[in-house]
Amino acid sequence: MDDFIDKILISQEEIETRVNELAKQISKDYVGKEIRAIGILRGAFIFMSDLIRNISVPLSVDFMSISSYGDDSESGGVIRILKDLDKPIHNKHVLIIEDIVDTGLTLQHLKEVLAIREPASLRVCALLDKKERRIVNNLEAEYTGFVIPDQFVVGYGLDYAEKYRNYPFIFVLKSKYYQGI
Ligand code: 5GP
Ligand code: MG
Ligand code: MG
């Protein structure tokens, strides 16, 4: 095992199984509809590509890149759109694909921004959920892969200082590899 890995929290096999389950559920719930899947860059890109390959209803993709004001590990609560959607979402069945919901502030603001554009429906599919860190009330993703404890995780799209996105499992780094988390 690589030296920087403290603990593998979710294995490649566990991810694959759960992502397939989510895709099945989504395919069932959206029968007769067309999904506009919106990937939140960059953390969600690997999850999204695995998820949508297992969804069996018509689907198109778009991407948004947002950053929260504040540093990299703590959400500031207000989001800044770095790259907006290419296409309008008016009357579309929008499914936001996120890597992780932590305090919930990012998602709350994102949902507000998108709701103004009047999609036909607006749901969220998040790979990870740090439930105990939530500070926004009544903010739950409609689809959640895994509830995880309050630990900073990387891998499977998630980064620390832009690294570790390429690992096919989700893990905790050894503390000496973090600076100031
Ligand atoms: P929230 O606004 O819910 O507090 O923060 C959500 C964002 O913070 C995520 O989309 C992600 O970019 C970042 N984040 C929160 N927890 C983690 C974590 O454990 N690992 C990584 N890599 N990013 C995280
Ligand atoms: Mg994110
Ligand atoms: Mg990040």
Contact 100, 158 (CB under 8 A): yes
- First vs last Cα of the chain: how many Å apart? 23
Phi, psi at residue 25, to the nearest 5°? -60, -45
What one-character DSSP code corresponds to residue 133?
A: G
User: Is residue 100 in contact with ligand 1, taking CB distance under 6 Å?
Assistant: yes
ipTM, interface predicted TM-score of the complex: 0.95
* Ligand 1 center from residue 33 Cα (angstroms): 30
For the entire predicted model, the pTM comes to 0.94
Atom 23 in ligand 1: which residue has the minimum CA distance? 158
42 cis-preceded (ω within 30 degrees of 0):
yes
The confidence score (pLDDT) of residue 142 equals: 98
* Ligand 1 center from residue 142 Cα (angstroms): 18
Tell me the per-residue pLDDT of 37-76, one tens digit each, with 9 for 90 and over: 999 999 999 999 999 999 999 999 999 999 876 555 555 5
* Ligand 1 center from residue 166 Cα (angstroms): 17
Q: Express as a percent the part of the chain with pLDDT over 70.
A: 94
Q: What number of other Cβ atoms are within 10 A of residue 82's Cβ? A: 10
- 6 given a catalytic annotation: no
Contact 97, 39 (CB under 8 A): yes
pLDDT band at 1 (very low <50, low <70, confident <90, very high): confident
- The string of DSSP codes covering 12-40 is HHHHHHHHHHHHHHHHHHTTTS-EEEEEE
Tell me the per-residue pLDDT of 118-130, one tens digit each, with 9 for 90 and over: 999 999 999 999 9
| Domains of the chain and any CATH numbers | 11-148 (3.40.50.2020)
Tell me the per-residue pLDDT of 70-104, one tens digit each, with 9 for 90 and over: 555 555 567 889 999 999 999 999 999 999 999 99
- Give the ligand 1 atom nearest the CA of 158: 22
Tell me the per-residue pLDDT of 2-24, one tens digit each, with 9 for 90 and over: 889 999 999 999 999 999 999 99
Question: Any idea how long the chain is?
Answer: 181
Tell me the per-residue pLDDT of 112-166, one tens digit each, with 9 for 90 and over: 999 999 999 999 999 999 999 999 888 899 999 999 999 999 999 999 999 999 9
The confidence score (pLDDT) of residue 180 equals: 60
Which of 10, 94, 24, 85 minimizes the C-alpha distance to 53? Answer: 24
**Distance, CA of 166 to CA of 147 (rounded, Å):** 21
